[in-house]
Structure 1
Amino acid sequence: MATNKQITETLKRVLGNTYALYLKTHGYHWNVEGPSFKSLHELFEEQYTQMWQSIDEIAERIRMLGTFAPMGGEILAGATIDTADNSVPSANGMVQNLVAGHEAWLEDTAAALNEAEEAGDTATETLLGDLITGHEKMAWMLRASLER
C-alpha cells in the first residue's frame, strides 16, 4: 500500500506534467498562425486556463498530504512530458503535439489514480478522476481540430 510520501511524489510528477503541458499550450497560444488562428488561439487559451487552475489544485493536495509543493525549476523535475523543444510548428503540428502530450499525461495520471486507489486515498482519487475527465475532453477537442 502506498504511503502519503509515495502519493505526494506521484502527485509531484502529475503536477510537473500538467505544468509542462500548460507551458506548451500557452506558448502555442501566443504563436499559432494560419487560417485556423482564431479558433485555435481561443481553444489554447481555454485549455491553458483550465490547466492553470488544476496546477493549483494538485499543489494544494500535495500540501494537504503534509509535504511542501515544488517551486521554481523543481516543478518540472519529475515531468515526463518534454518542454525542451522550443520550435514553432505549424498550427496542425501544434495540435498534434498537444494531443500527444495529453495522451502521455492521461497514461501517466491513470497510473497515479491506481496508486491512490490502492492507498485508499479517496480525496486524491477524486482529484485525479476529475482531472482525467478534463484532459480527456481537451484531447478530444484537439483531435477534432486536426486538419485531415
Structure 2
Amino acid sequence: MKVNIGISEEQRKSIAQGLAVLLADTYTLYLKTHNYHWNVTGPMFQTLHTLFETQYTELAVAVDDIAERIRALGEFAPGSYKEYAKLTSIKEAEGIPSAEEMIKDLVKGHEAIAKTGRSIVPTADDASDEVTLDLLTQRMTVHEKTAWMLRSLVA
C-alpha cells in the first residue's frame, strides 16, 4: 500500500535519505564504542568500561528507532557495513588508541551525529514532519550531552 501520512513522497524520500546517514553514523559510533568498551586499558578501565557499555546500549536502541522511522516513511533502511561505510561521516579507529584518545574520538563521533541530525531538521521542518523532528531533537540531546560528559573526562 502507498504511504499516506500527509508528507509527499519526495519529502519522505529526502527525509529518509538524511535519516539513512544518521543511521549509518549511529551504527558506526555504536561499533566504535563497543570496540572501545572491550579494549580500553589503564587506570580508568572500570569507569570507562562501564560508561562505554551504557553508551553503546543506548546507541543500539537508537539504531532501531532511526531505522523504524525510515520504514514508517515508506523507505528501506540501509543495513550493511558496506552501505554504512558509504554513508557515514565517522571514521573508523586505527588500532587500539589510549583511553584518553578513545574518549576524544568518541566526543568527535557524538558531535558528528549531532551535526548530522541538525542537517536534517530543515527538510523535516519544511515537510511538517513532527515525528522526525521529535526523533532528531531526542538524538541531538543525547549526543550533545554525551559529548559534554566525555569532554569533562579530559583536560
Question: TM-score, normalization: structure 2?
Answer: 0.89
Which amino acid letter does the alignment assign opposite residue 86 of structure 1? Answer: E
1:25 to 20, 28, 33: 33
1:63-82 → structure 2 map (5 Å cutoff): 63-73=71-81, 74-82=83-91
| 1:78-124 deviations in Å (ceiling 9; x for gaps) | 111112x3311110000001111111111121111222112211100
1:4 to 8, 12, 19: 12
Whole-angstrom distance in 2 between the partners of 1:89 and 1:128 = 30
- Pair 1:131-2:139 in alignment: yes
Q: Find the counterpart in structure 1 of residue 110 from structure 2.
A: 102
Q: Which runs of 5+ in 2 are unaligned?
A: 1-7
Tell me the SS of whatever aligns to 1:81. Answer: coil
Could you list the structure 1 runs, at least 4 aligned residues long, displaced by more than 3 angstroms after superposition: none
Identity %: 46
- Pair 1:114-2:119 in alignment: no
- Is the CA contact (8 Å cut-off) linking 1:17 and 1:76 kept in structure 2? no
Whole-angstrom distance in 1 between the partners of 2:126 and 2:85 = 26
Whole-angstrom distance in 2 between the partners of 1:62 and 1:131 = 15
Whole-angstrom distance in 1 between the partners of 2:115 and 2:84 = 19
- Is the CA contact (8 Å cut-off) linking 2:11 and 2:123 kept in structure 1? no
- Pair 1:40-2:48 in alignment: yes
Tell me the SS of whatever aligns to 1:88. Answer: coil
- How far the C-alpha of 1:141 sits from its partner, in A, is 1.4
Whole-angstrom distance in 1 between the partners of 2:38 and 2:144 = 23
Whole-angstrom distance in 1 between the partners of 2:25 and 2:102 = 17
| 1:5-57 deviations in Å (ceiling 9; x for gaps) | 00000000000000111111110000000000000111100001001000000
